[in-house]
Amino acid sequence: MPVSYLRALSESKRTRRANIHLGVSLAFVAGAINAGGFLAVLQYTSHMSGIVSSVADNLVLGNLTALAAGVASVAAFVSGAAYSTILINWGRHHRMHSAYAYPLFWEALLLLAFGLLGNSLEDHRALFTPLTVLLLCFIMGLQNAIITKISNAEIRTTHMTGIVTDIGIELGKLVYINLGRESARYRPVRTDWRRLGLLLSLLAAFCLGGTAGAVGFHNAGYVTTLPLAAFLVLLAIVPLMDDARTRTRLFLRYRIHGRVHGRTQTGQPPLS
């Protein structure tokens, strides 16, 4: 991929095209993590609707262990979204190119942690399965907050309920029969083809990612996290390097200025 394209994908200055391309890429990753996570812990970790419903069910049934697990999963998802928001706002306030890339890099690191935990699941399942579930929920919350803030809540990547609903809405507009003529009081119903294309792309990417993740985890195990983490690093690396170069230039400028200032004040080179 060209450097300019990678820079546009995750830098602070956004375009709708970059938002769509990043959203589709992250939908693929979310599908792969969700499917792979299910094979690892037998639980989908991006579906907060189902988890919250299970909390209510287990509360009524008096299943305190499952109730605590559900509450912890929701808390982990919320914590991931909150942490992502903190990173993004900190980057914005410091005018960093990598305000959105930095959370993506964190997601890559956490995916690697998921892979490491997975290797311990078979021998210590009772201990590491709950930790793995919480980690995956945290990752899903982290990722969903990234694309939500980037796109002003237009794009979601970790759960498909809203996307499938919106596809149904646009299809309903498509088959609706408009009666009468357009006027100030009557506006014909029209399908938003750009939005429908975006929604279908996100759904297809999530399904493709889920298929790839399931095949990968089924055949190769937790090593599948490596290409996913590498892909996230690829999405984030250019703005991160831009900020690293900027900090290096500022540091060198500060050192040079300090040495020149020292000579001016004392007439002698400053002590190193």
Q: What is the pLDDT of residues 190-229, one digit of tens each?
A: 899 999 999 999 999 999 999 999 999 888 888 888 999 9
Q: What's the mean per-residue pLDDT of the chain?
A: 85
pLDDT of res. 272: 43
Q: Which of residues 199 and 184 earns the better pLDDT score? A: 199
One DSSP character per residue, the chain reads --HHHHHHHHSSS--HHHHHHHHHHHHHHHHHHHHHHHHHHSS-SS-HHHHHHHHHHHHHHT-HHHHHHHHHHHHHHHHHHHHHHHHHHHHHHTT-TTTTHHHHHHHHHHHHHHHHHHHHHTTSHHHHHHHHHHHHHHHHHHHHHHHHHHTTTS---S--HHHHHHHHHHHHHHH----S---SS-------HHHHHHHHHHHHHHHHHHHHHHHHHHHTGGGGHHHHHHHHHHHHHHHHHHHHHHHHHHHHHHHHHHHHHHHHHHSSPPP-
pTM for this predicted structure: 0.84
pLDDT band, residue 125 (cuts 50/70/90)? low
Percent of the chain with pLDDT over 70: 88
pLDDT greater than 60 at residue 265: no
Q: Which of residues 30 and 1 earns the better pLDDT score? A: 30
